[in-house]
Structure 1
């Protein structure tokens, strides 16, 4: 079970939205879907090395309370930092918490 004290980061979840301007040019914009408390952890060197077999780019693990509708096409904002979500894991299958495996944009 997740302890509330570890959720010390406030993050904003965003989903991509395609918009079309008056000239018909389609562009991708981002819309806020939720602001929640989270735990953000950089993946350690060993975990990063082990994860390289599956996904060489994952750099952070973000834990939040379970909420429906979060998919890998979304991203996370935390202050000036941006994280692309690569996978969404229901930790114990009981819909209590989610682990977002992410890559921080630089």
Structure 2
């Protein structure tokens, strides 16, 4: 693995507690996950008015991008693989598939998400290259900015 190519910073997100989104559906909330440190529920993923993925603290205060990069990010290489458009509920949706390469971390699963540059990616597959536990190749899909994760803290209370 050529570690010099890992010039991007990504944040892994794992499913946390369940909450209700703006449509009343129960969906998992995603919280930052750094493989080398214990997980904390103090920070969670939400979206701003433009649909960009952002992290917030449980008290509702913004969690700065610089703090998030410092606290949770890992080095990776992000590269688009393919793109397609399809019709969903009579709306045209674009989907781009990305290859994300990072060093091996145990516990990375397709149930997780990836935050990169205020964009949220759904993990499609995780490959341990050559089963040597040195490199992960992750195939991830970036879908439309509006997702089922448009939630606010407290929406899951009842």
Q: TM-score, normalising length from structure 1?
A: 0.76
Superposed CA RMSD in Å reads 2.4
Instruction: Point out the more displaced range, 63-72 or 78-87.
Output: 78-87
Aligned to 1:81: 119
Aligned to 1:7: 6
Give, in whole Å, the separation in 2 of the partners of 1:104 and 1:10: 16
Counterpart of 2:138 (choices 88, 100, 104) is 100
Per the TM alignment, residue 86 of structure 1 is displaced from its structure 2 partner at its CA by 0.7
Give, in whole Å, the separation in 2 of the partners of 1:67 and 1:13: 11
5+ residue gaps, structure 2, are 35-72, 85-94, 145-158
Larger radius of gyration: 2
The structure 1 segments of at least 4 consecutive aligned residues displaced by more than 3 Å after TM superposition are none
> Cα deviation per residue 1:33-90 (whole Å; 9 max; x = unaligned)?
0221000111157xx9xxxxxxxx6711100000100000001001111110011001
Q: How many residues are aligned here?
A: 92
